[in-house]
Amino acid sequence: MSNPLITQTTTLGKIADGLRIHTKLQNFFGIGGVNGEPMSSIANRVMQMLLTKRMPWTFNVDEYAPFPWGTGNFMVCQPGFQDIKFAGASVFVLLPQSFNGLTSNMPVGGVGVDLQSTVKTIDGNTYTYPPINGGTNAVSIDPVTGIISVQTLDPHPYQTQSIGGPQAFLTGIVNPAFNSVYTYNNIISTARWTQGFNFVALDGPNNFTLQGIQGQQYASLTAISATNGITTVAVPNAMSKGDVMTFSSVATNTGLNSVTVTLLTASSTQVTFATPDGLNITNGADTGYIFAAPSGAAGIFNFSWLQAADVFDMNSLAFPPPIDQAKAVHRKAKEYTTTGDKLEIAPVVDYNNGVIKFRLTEPLGTYPWGFCLSIQRRASTMSQRGDVFPWPDELQFVIFEMCLWQGMRQAYGISSAETMAQMQIAMGAVMAALESQDREDNTQSLTPDWSLMR
């Protein structure tokens, strides 16, 4: 739940108890010896209907957007590509295109970063989602050399002249230690991307390496101490709170090797984190490496439909960067004609592994653009009395009326006329809730050009 002010506490059991009162005290759990039925099917059916296309609920939106509109997990384009795979993270190169005496044909644009290896439990089953192009990690670093390996979803646009040329910027990576930084001054309206990485080698169409920044993604530690459940590591660094780090080659406190922690604080001389359970820290001088834990894109596992899209200029030094609307459509055929119409974007494939393929109206040129995507989340599955509806308490009346309509379809002794009447009530509740989501202020009114009293 992205907004902590939105409370979601309505359970399956609470709605079922309400339905009993209006359906002659019939039971909605364990009927026919089937666990959770028919209430779980009623609830899941209702949520699927409510979260279907063209119902843009504000509480159900996930935004994949750049700063200052989002957290930096935006999609980017590259020359010639009409179809773009995206899982929530990107790597890109900005203009200008003049480096090392080369003034043209310098590869720019970007590409989606492959998945972080993820384990998810769905319907009681456990699924592992590794990077789709193989391997164990999409983004990882050698703690000794600081070389970052990156794997992409689509073939990247970078070529040999990229080595020693423009910097690459990472954004949307789950481990923030790998992400480049967008800095801005909203007083004088300037901005720029910082903490980019130099290309080291191109290892294949979907793989390349970058040089990490010492002190940010990797560093050598000099001492370790612990007190009151907090471990402090003395290390010269430019790390940040929230970075996910791991250890190797620790000489004295060997129990830290291969342990992954999240930084609680970071200064120029030390970092702190919660001492791992069961680990005894020996205070004093120590040696070894601290480096960013392997990561990648988080994946988009809850995509229902694309609500809106925008295109923005990643290269702009202005704050906020120039932005324009792109038309979010349901589907887009493979065609390319220069019509001059507004750019359209459509989701065309959900691979159900965290990766979605989007299609543009046309492949864009050599100028790199970023895309902000607003999606509606799909309905989650509920099966137990204690399961909570992914729905705000303030709109609970919609859940009740919809579940009552679906419940009356299965209840004994309820006539078709009663069911139809309840359907109308339920649809009215849905429309009332949608109107409550539309909070635009419209002060315009109809006025005649000439006074009627003249």
| Least confident piece of the model among 182-186, 334-338, 415-419 | 334-338
The answer to whether residues 193 and 333 belong to one domain is yes
The answer to whether residues 108 and 177 belong to one domain is yes
The answer to whether residues 153 and 246 belong to one domain is no
Whether residue 262 contacts residue 273, with contact meaning beta carbons closer than 8 Å, is answered with yes
Q: How confident is the model at residue 444 (pLDDT cuts 50, 70, 90)?
A: very low
Q: How confident is the model at residue 195 (pLDDT cuts 50, 70, 90)?
A: very high
The answer to whether residues 195 and 100 belong to one domain is yes
User: Where a domain ends, among 257, 290, 323?
Assistant: 290
The pLDDT value given to residue 438:
65
Whether residue 393 contacts residue 8, with contact meaning beta carbons closer than 8 Å, is answered with yes
CATH of the domain at 265: 2.40.30
Backbone angles phi, psi at 287, to 5 degrees: -130, 165
Q: Is residue 6 part of a domain?
A: no
Q: How confident is the model at residue 324 (pLDDT cuts 50, 70, 90)?
A: very high
Q: Is residue 226 part of a domain?
A: yes
The residue-averaged pLDDT of 43-72 equals 91
The pLDDT value given to residue 104:
54
Q: Is residue 324 part of a domain?
A: yes
The pLDDT value given to residue 31:
86
Q: What is the bridge-based pairing of β-strands 147-151 and 139-141? A: antiparallel
The answer to whether residues 263 and 355 belong to one domain is no
The answer to whether residues 126 and 111 belong to one domain is yes
Q: Is residue 7 part of a domain?
A: no
Q: How confident is the model at residue 445 (pLDDT cuts 50, 70, 90)?
A: very low
Is the model's pTM score more than 0.75? Answer: yes
Q: What is the bridge-based pairing of β-strands 370-377 and 61-64? A: antiparallel
Q: Is residue 444 part of a domain?
A: no
The answer to whether residues 224 and 326 belong to one domain is no
What's the pLDDT tens digit per position in 248-293? 999 999 999 999 999 999 999 999 999 999 999 999 999 999 999 9
Parent domain of 188? 62-213+299-377
Res. 101: pLDDT tops 60: no
Work out the mean pLDDT of the chain and round it to a whole number: 89
The answer to whether residues 147 and 202 belong to one domain is yes
The answer to whether residues 196 and 321 belong to one domain is yes
Task: End-to-end CA distance of the chain: give it in Å, rounded.
Answer: 58
| Least confident piece of the model among 294-308, 333-347, 433-447 | 433-447
Whether residue 389 contacts residue 1, with contact meaning beta carbons closer than 8 Å, is answered with no
What percentage of the chain carries pLDDT values higher than 70? 91
What's the pLDDT tens digit per position in 1-37? 345 557 999 999 999 999 999 998 889 998 888 888 9
The answer to whether residues 66 and 176 belong to one domain is yes
The answer to whether residues 86 and 187 belong to one domain is yes
Whether residue 353 contacts residue 115, with contact meaning beta carbons closer than 8 Å, is answered with yes
CA-based radius of gyration for the chain: 27
Task: Give the closest residue to 120 by CA, choosing from 391, 390, 352.
Answer: 352
User: Where a domain ends, among 259, 290, 321?
Assistant: 290
Q: Is residue 237 part of a domain?
A: yes
The answer to whether residues 258 and 200 belong to one domain is no
Q: Is residue 4 part of a domain?
A: no
Strand residue runs (E) in 58-129:
61-64, 75-76, 83-86, 90-93, 109-112, 118-122, 125-129
Q: Is residue 97 part of a domain?
A: yes
The pLDDT value given to residue 439:
53
3-state secondary structure of 191: strand
Number of domains in the chain: 3
